[in-house]
Structure 1
Amino acid sequence: MDSPVKPPPPLYAPGTGQWSSSLCGCLSDISSCCCTLWFPCVTFGRNAEILDKGTSSCAASGAVYLVLCMFTGCECVFTSIYRAKLRHEYALPARPCNDFLVHLFCECCALCQEYRELKYRGLDPALGWHGNLRKHAEGVVMPVKPPVVIEEMKR
């Protein structure tokens, strides 16, 4: 018998309403900040795959980011859409300013903050959507033996 698959935690967590870290809170996660500094397309791709719930891949989203960056220099328009999506999912405030301006002036910090937020919510962007599904499915414990059936009372 197939065991039921436990999905990852829902993206929307009602009642949260606050960012788990500040925009400039990179000291709490140096590795993702270094990755974002040198390869922002990777961090964006990872975040986008999670926010799209696996309908887009990290590679595809990262490639779109890279093309926009190289040919238009306006990747912040694209990335700010995903920040808005994240904020909507978790009912987060538009701080310190609207999503477009945050990505326009603080692109790397914004991507890092979004990455940390997903990790805080129990989703590891480095694993991808399907990796998170597997991780959360491993948490399902199935009984080894069938349950004990209690016989009817006898007089």
Structure 2
Amino acid sequence: MNPNESNTKSTPQAPVSYTSPPEEQWSTGICDCFKDKTSCWVTCWCPCITFGRTAEIVDQGKPSCFTATRNCLMLAHLFGIGACIYTCTYRAKLRVHYSLPPKPCGDCCVHFCCFFCALCQEYRELKIRGLDPEGGWAAANAKKLKDRTTAPPIPSPGMTR
């Protein structure tokens, strides 16, 4: 290389790395069922009701609690494992909405291995975040709108002499 020539080669630069926002964490663990004893007992006796309530909130009122409960019950009686596949899709929607990690494992695996605990955890998560599934979507939405109220504007002082 001639000393009079400038070095036209550019030095390689480090690639720009983009990091995604940090994932939030589940408010409670998968085995913390007794932190909400009422929903735990309802889930033990009729898990489809807990699922129906959660599904109504996750999908913002469509399907209704009744429809989601009925679908879960029919799938459980007709296909057995079909209910786990149906319910795990709502866990995935809940995780995406709140940026929750797939812990302790994937959604379908959690619903297949720990069906009752998964339903309880999802129910608790919504309840802790202020969307009580027991009241349904209409009540949760009304509460959310009520919480958004803003303070009245402060009038500017009038003209003075």
- Report Cα offsets for 1:125-148 as digits up to 9, x if no partner: 1111111122234443776xx975
The one-character-per-residue Cα deviations of 1:102-142 (angstroms, maximum 9, x if unpaired) are 10111110000000111111111111111112223444377
TM-score norm. by structure 2 comes to 0.79
Identify the residue that residue 103 of structure 2 maps to in structure 1.
Answer: 95
**Letter of the structure 2 residue corresponding to residue 17 of structure 1:** E
Q: Secondary structure at the match of 2:108?
A: helix
Equivalent runs, 1:17-36 vs 2, <5 Å: 17-36=24-43
How far off its partner does 1:67 sit? Answer: 0.2
Distance in 1, matches of 2:156 and 2:93, equals 49
Structure 1 segment 1-150 matched on structure 2, within 5 A: 17-74=24-81, 75-139=83-147, 140=149, 150=157
* Structure 1 ranges of 4+ moved more than 3 A: 136-143, 146-150
**TM-score, normalised via structure 1 length:** 0.82
- Partner Cα separation in structure 1 for residue 106 and residue 151 of structure 2: 46
Alpha-carbon distance, 1:152 to partner: 1.2
User: What CA distance in whole angstroms lies between the structure 2 residues aligned with 1:88 and 1:130?
Assistant: 22
Q: Which runs of 5+ in 1 are unaligned?
A: 1-13
Structure of higher CA gyration radius: 2
What is the CA–CA distance in structure 2 between the aligned matches of 1:134 and 1:85, rounded to whole Å?
A: 22
Do the aligned residues in 1 keep the contact of 2:23 with 2:101 (CA within 8 Å)? no
Q: Write the deviation string for residues 43-78 of structure 1: whole angstroms up to 9, x where unpaired.
A: 000000011011210000000000000111020000
Measured in 1, the distance between the counterparts of 2:46 and 2:55 equals: 15
1:9 matched residue in structure 2: none
The 1-side partners of 2:98 and 2:154 are apart by 39
Offset of 1:40 from its aligned partner?
0.7
